Amino acid sequence: MKTIIFINRSTCTKCMLCTEVCPNKILLKNESNIITFDPEKVSLCFICGQCMAVCPAKSILVDGLSYEKDFFELPAYEPGGLESPFFDLIRTRRAIRNFQDKPVPQELLKKIVESIMLAPPGFPPVKTRIIVVQNSAVIRQSLPYMIRLYQKLLRRLKNPFIHYFIRQKVGVRRFRTMREHLVPLLKSRLPALKAGTEDTLTRNAPAMILFLADRNGEDISQDISIAATYGMLASHALGLGGSIMDIIPPAINKDKNLRRMFEIPHSQEVISSLIIGFPKYKYQRGIRRSLRSVRWL
The pLDDT tens digits for 249-261 are 999 999 999 999 9
Whose CA is closest to 212, among 244, 260, 249, 174?
249
In sequence order, what are the residues at sequence separation of 6 or more whose Cβ sits closer than 8 angstroms to the Cβ of residue 127?
121, 213, 214, 217, 218, 220, 223
In angstroms, what CA-CA distances link 222 with 113, 127, 217, 280? 18, 11, 14, 31
Q: Structure pTM?
A: 0.88
| Residue 95 neighbours by CB distance under 10 Å | 11
Cα–Cα distance for residue pair 21/129, rounded to 1 Å: 28
Cβ(237)–Cβ(108) under 8 Å? Answer: no
In sequence order, what are the residues at sequence separation of 6 or more whose Cβ sits closer than 8 angstroms to the Cβ of residue 175?
166, 167
In angstroms, what CA-CA distances link 263 with 243, 256, 257, 270, 272? 22, 10, 10, 11, 15
Q: What is the pLDDT of residue 286?
A: 86
Cβ(56)–Cβ(13) under 8 Å? Answer: yes
pLDDT in tens, 179-226: 888 888 888 989 999 999 999 999 999 999 999 999 999 999 999 999
Query: Where does residue 60 rank: exposed (0-12), middle (13-18), buried (19+ CB within 10 A)?
Result: buried
pLDDT averaged over every residue in the chain: 92
The CATH topology of domain 5-68 is Alpha-Beta Plaits (3.30.70)
Q: Quick check: 1 pLDDT over 60?
A: no
Percent of the chain clearing pLDDT 90 (strictly above): 68
Cα–Cα–Cα angle for 225, 228, 234, rounded to 5 degrees: 140
CATH 3.40.50.970 assigned to domain 92-137+200-277? The reply is no
Whose CA is closest to 142, among 158, 128, 131, 129?
131
Whose CA is closest to 276, among 213, 228, 220, 225?
228
Region of residue 210 (phi > 0: left; psi between -120 and 50: alpha; otherwise: beta): beta
Cα–Cα distance for residue pair 8/68, rounded to 1 Å: 16
pLDDT in tens, 105-131: 999 999 999 999 999 998 888 999 999
Cα–Cα distance for residue pair 140/147, rounded to 1 Å: 12
Q: Could you tell me how many residues make up the chain?
A: 297
Torsion of CA 188, 194, 195, 196, to 10 degrees: 100
pLDDT in tens, 48-97: 999 999 999 999 999 989 999 999 998 887 777 888 899 999 999 999 99
Cα–Cα–Cα angle for 180, 184, 185, rounded to 5 degrees: 110
Give the confidence band of 175 by pLDDT, cuts at 50, 70, 90. confident
| Residue 40 neighbours by CB distance under 10 Å | 8
Spell out the alpha helix ranges (H) of 238-288.
248-254, 256-261
Q: DSSP per residue over 151-197, as a string?
A: HHHHHHHTSHHHHHHHHHHH-HHHHHHIIIIIHHHHHHHHHHHHHTS
